[in-house]
Amino acid sequence: MSEQHLYYGDYLQLDKLLGAQTLESAKHGPPVHDEMLFIIVHQAYELWFKQIIWEIDSVIELFGQDVVDEQNMGTAIARLRRISRIQTLLISQISVLETMTPLDFLDFRDYLFPASGFQSAQFRVVENKLGLLPGDRLFLAGAEYTSRFSDEDKIRVKALEDEPSLFDLMERWLERTPFLDYEDFHFWEAYRHAVQSRIEADRTVVQTNPNLSDAEKQAQLKDFDLVLNQYEAIFDPDKHTLERDAGRLRLSHRAFQAALFITLYRDQPALQEPFRLLELLMDIDESFTTWRHRHAQMALRMIGRRIGTGGSAGAKYLEKSADRSRVFSDLFSLSTFLVPRADRPILPAGILDAMRFRYEE
């Protein structure tokens, strides 16, 4: 241990941290009380964004190898779980900010123009590192999302669009999943039969349901045909490519099959951690969507239908952005293609044996 005594305030640089709240309202007259809350909440957001970036970078480093060390899986899962817990705080902080009334906000809002949360470069770094596509972003008052940044932030954020994202690395990791091909066992042929059998059973239930009119039956039977077409993308690489080109899928055919296989057989020991990893990616995606929607509702509550301080359409823009900002949407669609456990193809003994945990004396 160091012989020098480290002081708490010096270690955390509290003089710098606690002296970083400068009220704009005080520059123009008496300070507005609630501006302090507004600054501290947003500074807390930026600190948490910094921690999220720190965690994402570490997971990207672990999965950036040609082979992911199995000992690192627990580390990656723990760090993704930490991001998910941080997101819970991000969402709950909105409730703290909402203790400020719209009238309280109006007392200092005019002093903030044209500063805006849209200028949070760190949050855009988070989005790009996760893998949000540039084409999925909304224009901000007719300009791209980096238009309100300083030149330095614009260069930093845009550069990340060309670097491997967490999505890219997870896709490559899924593509390396074993067990999909095993000797003469053709899993996907067996699974296609299971899917068709399940849909035909459901179709029979509709056709024989006395509580449905003929029109209702025809409408539901037509839906079954649409579902079958979606299922074909699992089995046919060409149809999967058409779905990707249409923007309805993003993962490669091999990666999507692997994610579905992991989800179907998640109880197998070797697939338990991979499944938890996929769940956490969905948790993170869903939490950011929830945060965006809560942010939009708060904006509606605070400023109504006014434009935002950054020149956006305010709450309306935020709602649209929330709906278009999912990164791992393919993982959410997996439930469409599941069958009950009883209908899953029985895996060969060799695959089951390879997925076991063992301890032998």
When the pLDDT of each residue in the chain is averaged and rounded to a whole number, the result is 89
| pLDDT category of residue 1 using cuts at 50, 70 and 90 | low
Global model pTM greater than 0.95: no
Q: Which domains does the chain have, with CATH numbers?
A: 8-176+250-326 (1.20.58.480)
- Given a cut of 90, whether residue 19 has pLDDT beyond it is yes
pLDDT band at 314 (very low <50, low <70, confident <90, very high): low
pLDDT tier, 96 (very low <50, low <70, confident <90, very high otherwise)? very high
Supply the pLDDT for residue 144. Answer: 87
Look at residue 240 and tell me whether its pLDDT is greater than 50: yes
pLDDT at 266 over 70: yes
Q: What is the 3-state secondary structure (H, E, C) of the chain?
A: CCCCCCCHHHHCCHHHHHCCCCCCHHHCCCCCCCHHHHHHHHHHHHHHHHHHHHHHHHHHHHHCCCCCCHHHHHHHHHHHHHHHHHHHHHHHHHHHHCCCCHHHHHHHHHHHCCCCHHHCHHHHHHHHHHCCCHHHCCCECCECCCCCCCHHHHHHHHHHHHCCCHHHHHHHHHHCCCCCCECCECHHHHHHHHHHHHHHHHHHHHHCCCCCCHHHHHHHHHHHHHHHHHHHHHHCHHHHHHHHHCCCCCCCHHHHHHHHHHHHCCCCHHHHHHHHHHHHHHHHHHHHHHHHHHHHHHHHHHHCCCCCCCCCCCHHHHHHHHHCCCCCHHHHHHHHHCCCHHHCCCCCHHHHHHCCCCCCC
Q: How confident is the model at residue 311 (pLDDT cuts 50, 70, 90)?
A: very low
pLDDT for 143: 82
Per the model's pLDDT, the better-predicted residue between 143 and 311 turns out to be: 143
* pLDDT attached to residue 10: 95
What is the tens place of the pLDDT at every residue in 180-225?
777 677 788 888 888 888 888 888 888 899 998 988 888 888 877 7
